[in-house]
Amino acid sequence: MGKLPVPVETYPIVAIIGGAVVGAGWYLARLAQGPEVVWDRKNNDIKQGQTRQVVAQPPLSGAVLPDTSLYHSLNPYFPYNREITEKSRNHSSSPTLTMFSKRIINSAANGCKRSLTSKAIPASYYRNQQASSTDGFIGAIGNTPLIRLNKLSEETDAEILGKAEFMNPGGSVKDRAALGLVLDAEEKGLLKAGGTVVEGTAGNTGIGLAHVCRARGYKCVIYMPNTQSAEKIDLLRMLGAEVHPVPAVAFDNPQNYNHQAKRHADSIPNAVWTNQFDNPDGNRAIHIHTTGPELWLQTNGTIDAFTCSTGTGGTFAGVTNYLKSMNSDIGCYIADPPGSVLASYVQTNGEKMDRDGGSITEGIGQGRITENMTVDVKKADGAFTVPDSDSIAMLYRLLDEEGIYLGASSALNVAAAYKLAKDLGRNEDGTKRKIVTILCDGAYRYQSRLFSRKWLESKGLVDAIPQHLQKYIILE
Ligand SMILES: Cc1ncc(COP(=O)(O)O)c(C=O)c1O
């Protein structure tokens, strides 16, 4: 045996020095990873600390939430299907969302050369992150972020918050409706394995349905007015749907796209016309079960007002129904594009349905009271028309000031929230009002129109865009 490099008597000293070196190395590595974060429930914020559990705040004690077992079975993160008691509100039996700790994320980056330190990442990034995968496409629908629109909030006496529905996996708020319509048809036994879903849709519901149908093994057939953007029609076909663009005629004409969709479904076996306009069980209900509770949770029940426009009315009706059931003082306001009858209907207590002009917005505006709306339109605290000039100006402002690229119905919704902020002012106790709206989809599906000088000129809208924002009109 060769001679040992150090004498045996020094082994304990070598061991101590070795241990100290390893310990110091571990400590330095941990420092480099940044602190762990903890959910500070009281201040609704994340602070440095020791814990990694996030407890989502359920609605106020005593509230009975809708039975969401069907949705829950598909979306393991869906946290609302329980009766809220004081105990579950305050203790860990509340639904929990596990978030990534900075350490987990950093350890994933170990070995990579990275210039960004964990300290540069805002704490809000770690909030409400779910530490596992979703159950396919359907599990990824909903649970969208609620974005504070900073500039508009600073400029007014309100916190203006937009629900980022453009972040749904199919790109719009209508993914929710598509899911609700299909689940309802399945639950009622109208749709069996390998069946066909037929719908009349201006686009986004069709896109949502095309995705949901592929994910669940159904065929999808879409009828739509031929006035809709080419981008939407192309996308539907790429998603495997059979698309029938038909002349845009009024609802009372038998050739209206909805009636054509119904006739198609009636003519083939194992097919369902999902009837998004007059299907409160599928369309309105999904917003009662998902969008409404999410908004309540995300604001800890502190919403003062909600506003959005309506197409089928599913979003407005479902959210209004849920919010009013939680707190009847929440003001719910319909925002109408020109040419839609709802503003006149609400303003005259249902006596008139006047319509005047038309709008550049797509997917919204209505000439009648749909069945989705019949119950909840009576709960509206008011309604008003937002001119296209306000919507297009807001669309360009949101892009420039917030970096958010939105379609015209979302811009109209934010213009409505902004108007409400100015009209309503602060709460009686002097606090800022919290006004929530829906960011329905992104501008991607409409960019050839919304950013084209020629198209904007043809609509007389170039001058509505402030001079300093006209640099974004980059298409001819
Ligand atoms: C872009 C866009 N915004 C808003 C809406 C209106 O939503 P709802 O049908 O729930 O009233 C739609 C409906 O198709 C839409 O496509």
Q: Are 441 and 409 in contact (CB under 8 A)?
A: yes
Q: Which of 322, 440, 446 gets mutated to test ligand 1 (max ligand atoms within 8 A of its CB)?
A: 440
Q: Is the CB of 304 under 6 A from ligand 1?
A: no
Q: Please spell the DSSP secondary structure of 138-200, one letter per residue.
A: HHTSS---EEE-HHHHHHSSEEEEEEEGGGSTTSBTHHHHHHHHHHHHHHTT---TT-EEEEE
Q: Which tokens belong to 365?
A: 């505006």
The answer to whether residues 218 and 298 belong to one domain is: no
Q: State yes or no: pLDDT of 126 exceeds 80.
A: no
Higher-confidence residue of 343 and 29: namely 343
Question: What's the whole-number mean pLDDT along residues 453-464?
Answer: 98
Residue 95: Cβ within 10 Å count: 17
Atom of ligand 1 nearest to the CA of 276: 9
**Cα distance between residue 449 and residue 406, in whole Å:** 13
Last residue of a domain, one of 236, 254, 280: 280
Tell me the pLDDT band of 6, cut-offs 50, 70 and 90.
Answer: low
Taking CA atoms only, the protein residue closest to ligand 1 atom 7 is 311
Atom of ligand 1 nearest to the CA of 441: 1
The answer to whether residues 275 and 287 belong to one domain is: no
Boundaries of domain holding 87 = 43-132
Residue 186 lies in a domain: yes
174 is catalytic: yes
Residue 56 lies in a domain: yes
In this prediction the pTM is: 0.79
pLDDT in tens, 343-378: 999 999 999 999 989 999 988 999 999 999 999 999
The answer to whether residues 349 and 202 belong to one domain is: no
pLDDT in tens, 179-233: 999 999 999 999 999 999 999 987 899 999 999 999 999 999 999 989 877 877 8
How many folded domains does the chain comprise? 3
Question: What's the whole-number mean pLDDT along residues 381-406?
Answer: 98
Residue 57: Cβ within 10 Å count: 17
By mean pLDDT, which of 82-86, 434-438, 470-474 is the weakest? 82-86
Taking CA atoms only, the protein residue closest to ligand 1 atom 2 is 363
Higher-confidence residue of 119 and 307: namely 307
Please tell me which residue in 163, 174, 232, 419 is annotated as part of the active site. Answer: 174
Q: State yes or no: pLDDT of 67 exceeds 70.
A: no
The answer to whether residues 402 and 445 belong to one domain is: yes
**Cα distance between residue 306 and residue 293, in whole Å:** 13
> Residue 466 maps to which CATH number?
3.40.50.1100
Calculate how far, in angstroms, residue 177's C-alpha sits from the geometric centre of ligand 1: 9
The answer to whether residues 307 and 455 belong to one domain is: yes
Tell me the pLDDT band of 102, cut-offs 50, 70 and 90.
Answer: very low
The answer to whether residues 337 and 194 belong to one domain is: no
Calculate how far, in angstroms, residue 28's C-alpha sits from the geometric centre of ligand 1: 52
Tell me the pLDDT band of 29, cut-offs 50, 70 and 90.
Answer: low
The answer to whether residues 418 and 285 belong to one domain is: yes
Q: Are 76 and 135 in contact (CB under 8 A)?
A: yes
